[in-house]
Amino acid sequence: MYWSDWGDHPHISRADMNGKFRVPMVTDNLRWPNGLTIDYIYSRLYWADAKLKTIESISLTGTDRRTVLRETEIHPFSLAVFKDRLFWSDWKTKSIEICNKSNGEGRATLLREDRIITGIYVYQPLVKVHIDNPCESNPCEEICLLGGDLSYTCACGLNKTLGNDGRTCKGIKEEDGLIIAAGGVLLNYHHEILRKPRWNTIESPQQFAELFHPQSRSLTIDSRYRMYEQISRISRDNETFATIAYDHKENNLYLGNGEDKRIDVMSLSTTKMIFFQYSEEPRTILLVPEKEAMFVAFCSDSSCHLDKMSMAGSGRRRFLGDAFRGPRIPLAFDAQTNRIFWVDQGTGKLESISFDGHDRKELKWRFPETVSLAIIEDRIFGVSDNSKGIFWASKNDGLTYRKEFNLTIPMEGNVVMMNINYPGEQSTRELHECQTDNGGCSHVCLILSKESQMCGCPEEMVLDEDQKTCK
């Protein structure tokens, strides 16, 4: 297969049809290469460059590059070859033009239209030659891709994985998703690589719990309702700054209460609640349960800063001392790169830093008025306040474009977006104390480190001598 690329480094490349053995064929004197077509009789590849106003060809092995036509008044778009003639659709003149495929002579207009002509193709009878086809025997369960030297590679459809035998497809890969909430409306959003994004409205606490909580069957009806209601309440609230985060290890919800300058922690195992009191407003909470850490963006009237602490609220220290403009500093953690991402809502500047606070980087995009971030694989997602759109970009610096998709549903108010692709680490590691019978705590179990935990009590109660029971 052959393809052209208009990116930062324009090129024309080839590879086996299974994607292996990629080779760049043309890398210089290119701007907008497009309109690839093959002359099968003479084994040559033709392309047009709409920016350089040229049509060129090269052998299929990547040698013998030739210029067929160079004119200032052409804007070629799609090419086709038949016998000794070259055809192309012209974007500027809305016509199909022809010329000699070797030297560009005998140029003429074949036809004109009122609209732009895009793709053209010449169907021609060719002498059929038998070619050994390794895919002919159906060696793959789903998709067979040709490779060089009579080889093949099996592949599977979207969200499926290839079995160890290299031929069969097993299971369906658990989809990564987001929960988006605004104005009390909760959506289950899935980002498709090959299709448009899709979403559906979450109608009940039961449906929400099954999506949001990996072990939802262990939750009581009261726990499911409270989890659903808390997120619905925050997304309905237009007057105060509020944030929510979920710890899938402790099974706790962390709720930022900016007005009262505190973080409420509700155990979904017991439905009991405690809080951490502060002198500043906690505007954003980011939990990283795998590393027993919590990041909080605290704000005053004029600026914000980012602090790091344990998930029990202890050991607080300044993580980023910058005076961010705010009023929100949405945060996200990427386990693949071990980095913290954030946006200053006031400037739209997107940055990241390693978990230990080193190697700070600014990404090239701007995410203006962003109030929530999430990361799925190599993409970082954002939503803006009072917006129906979800936008995303590469979390790396390799891509220069930001994309956006509008959700066709009436949504208003503060937007809450939460990542629901939790790592399945419980099968490979021992359970933390808090994950077994709530750590023995009567109210809330809080993780201090991998090996230790503490029980938390409401303000009007204290721990008994057993350090487990609130009285």
Q: Show the beta-strand stretches assigned E in 235-280.
A: 242-247, 252-257, 262-267, 273-277
pLDDT tens-digit readout, 152-186: 999 998 778 899 999 999 876 555 678 887 766 77
The torsion of the CA quartet 227, 229, 230, 232, rounded to 10 degrees, works out to 120
Please, which pLDDT band fits residue 352 given cuts at 50, 70 and 90? very high
Q: Show the beta-strand stretches assigned E in 63-156.
A: 66-70, 76-82, 85-90, 95-100, 108-112, 143-146, 152-155
CA 394 to chain centre: 7
Task: Convert 42-77 into a string of H (helix), E (strand) and C (coil).
Answer: CCEEEEEECCCCEEEEEECCCCCCEEEEECCCCCEE
Closest C-alpha to 42, from 88, 81, 89:
81
pLDDT tens-digit readout, 11-61: 999 999 999 999 999 999 999 998 899 998 899 999 999 899 999 999 999
Q: Please tell us whether the domain made up of 177-427 is placed in CATH 2.120.10.30.
A: yes
Using the predicted structure, report yes or no on whether residue 382 has a pLDDT greater than 50.
Answer: yes
Long-range contacts: 238-243, Cβ < 8 Å, 24+?
Answer: 238/412, 238/413, 238/414, 241/281, 241/283, 241/299, 241/327, 241/328, 241/414, 242/414, 243/282, 243/283, 243/284, 243/285, 243/416
DSSP 91: T
Q: Which residue has the higher pLDDT, 231 or 442?
A: 442
Kindly state the tokens that stand for 116. Answer: 């732009």
Helix axes 221-236, 205-212, angle to 10 degrees: 90
SS3 187: strand
Domain ranges of the chain: 2-112, 177-427
Q: What is d(CA 92, CA 79) in angstroms, rounded to the nearest whole number?
A: 15
pLDDT tens-digit readout, 210-262: 776 655 555 667 776 777 777 666 666 554 456 888 887 778 889 888 788 99
Q: What is d(CA 272, CA 252) in angstroms, rounded to the nearest whole number?
A: 10
Least confident interval from 56-70, 145-159, 377-391: 377-391
pLDDT tens-digit readout, 124-146: 776 566 778 999 999 999 999 99
- Bridge-based pairing of strands 76-82 and 85-90 is antiparallel
Please, which pLDDT band fits residue 412 given cuts at 50, 70 and 90? low
pLDDT (0 to 100) of residue 414: 59
Closest C-alpha to 225, from 236, 237, 233:
233
Q: What is d(CA 448, CA 437) in angstroms, rounded to the nearest whole number?
A: 17
Mean pLDDT of the chain: 84
Confirm if 395 and 402 have CB atoms less than 8 A apart: no
Give the homologous superfamily in CATH for domain 2-112.
TolB, C-terminal domain (2.120.10.30)
- Bridge-based pairing of strands 108-112 and 143-146 is unpaired
Q: Show the beta-strand stretches assigned E in 312-378.
A: 317-324, 331-334, 339-344, 349-354, 361-366, 370-376
Closest C-alpha to 384, from 405, 403, 374, 369:
369
Using the predicted structure, report yes or no on whether residue 326 has a pLDDT greater than 50.
Answer: yes
Q: What is d(CA 383, CA 441) in angstroms, rounded to the nearest whole number?
A: 37
Confirm if 465 and 459 have CB atoms less than 8 A apart: no
CA distances from 249 to 260, 275, 292, 404, 449 (A): 27, 18, 10, 33, 12
Please, which pLDDT band fits residue 356 given cuts at 50, 70 and 90? very high
Q: Is pTM, for the whole model, over 0.75?
A: no
Q: What is d(CA 188, CA 226) in angstroms, rounded to the nearest whole number?
A: 18
Using the predicted structure, report yes or no on whether residue 192 has a pLDDT greater than 50.
Answer: yes
Closest C-alpha to 76, from 39, 118, 38:
118
Using the predicted structure, report yes or no on whether residue 466 has a pLDDT greater than 70.
Answer: yes
Least confident interval from 61-70, 78-87, 300-309, 421-430: 421-430
Enclosing H/E stretch for 221: helix 221-236
